Structures are given as C-alpha cells and as structure tokens.
Structure 1
Amino acid sequence: MAKKCSITGKIANNAYQISHSHRRTKKLQEVNLQTKKIWNPEKKSWKRIIVSTRAIKKLIIKN
C-alpha cells in the first residue's frame, strides 16, 4: 500500500531536521493518512479509502 492520499494525491515531503547546534539531517514528513468508509449510492455499498485529514475536512464541508 502506497502512502498516498487517494483523493488529493498527497505524498511525503523531504525536509531537514535541524538540531540545536544547527546540524541538518534529512527526514521525511509523512502525510496524515486515515482509513475512511464512504457510502457509494450507485452501488449501494461502502467503499474503504485512504485519505488525508485535509481531504476528510473537504468532504465534510461539501456534505
């Protein structure tokens, strides 16, 4: 399973972790992904998708 939002397509971001002495080490900023069930009225069934929290907020605002 890829760590990617199925609605927005968001993926991890490369970044630096900077210490107090200002040493830089590379890190990954992962996307906050959640598993949600969404009702499909055409097929009359639930579909489980993996979405980011921002996409969940957009879905709630639309409905």
Structure 2
Amino acid sequence: MSRVCQITGKRPQVGNNVSHANNKTKRRFNPNLQKKRFYIPEEDKWITLKVSTSALRTINKNGITAVLKKARANGNTLV
C-alpha cells in the first residue's frame, strides 16, 4: 500500500543526504504513518485508516466524524 495519509494526503518528500564532505545523495522523507481503527457511531461501524500522527492529533481534537466530513468535502477519494 502507498505511503499516503488518508486524511491529510501527506506523501513522501524527496531531499538529499549531505555528507561531511558535502556529497549529496538522494533520499526520501517518509511521513509518520500509523494504521488505526476508528469507530463511527453515526454509521455504526469500524473503519481502518492509514493516518499520519498529525492527523491523529486532529482527530483527537475535532472528532472522527468532523474530520471525515472535511476530508470528503476536500475531494479526498481515499476515505
């Protein structure tokens, strides 16, 4: 499965490893993704999402229902 957050859409970024001699080689900065199950009482079901830790903080703050509604409104097809 791809390394994409299903709520925020965060993806791996590309950058350089820079050595002490200033040699540069390509590297990837992967988002901190966690697989997490959420219960949605309105639909009376559990869903499993692959979310970044920053998305988990947003879900804890605003609630899963509000976050899902906003993600669907933004055109996120993964949810």
In structure 2, the residue matched to 1:9 is 9
SS in 1 for 2:2: coil
- The TM-score normalised by the length of structure 2 is 0.75
TM-score norm. by structure 1 comes to: 0.92
Q: Indicate the RMSD between aligned Cα atoms, in angstroms.
A: 0.9
Shift of 1:41: 1.4
Q: Which residue of 1 aligns with 2:23?
A: 23
| Higher strand content, 1 or 2 | 1
**What is the identity percentage for the equivalent residue pairs of Structure 1 and Structure 2?**
33
Counting helix residues as a fraction of each chain, which structure ranks higher? 2
1:6-58, CA deviations, whole angstroms, 9 ceiling, x for partnerless residues?
00001000000000111000000001100111111132111110000000011
DSSP-derived class of the 2:51 partner: strand
Gaps of 5+ in 1: none
Structure 2, unpaired ranges of 5+: 64-79
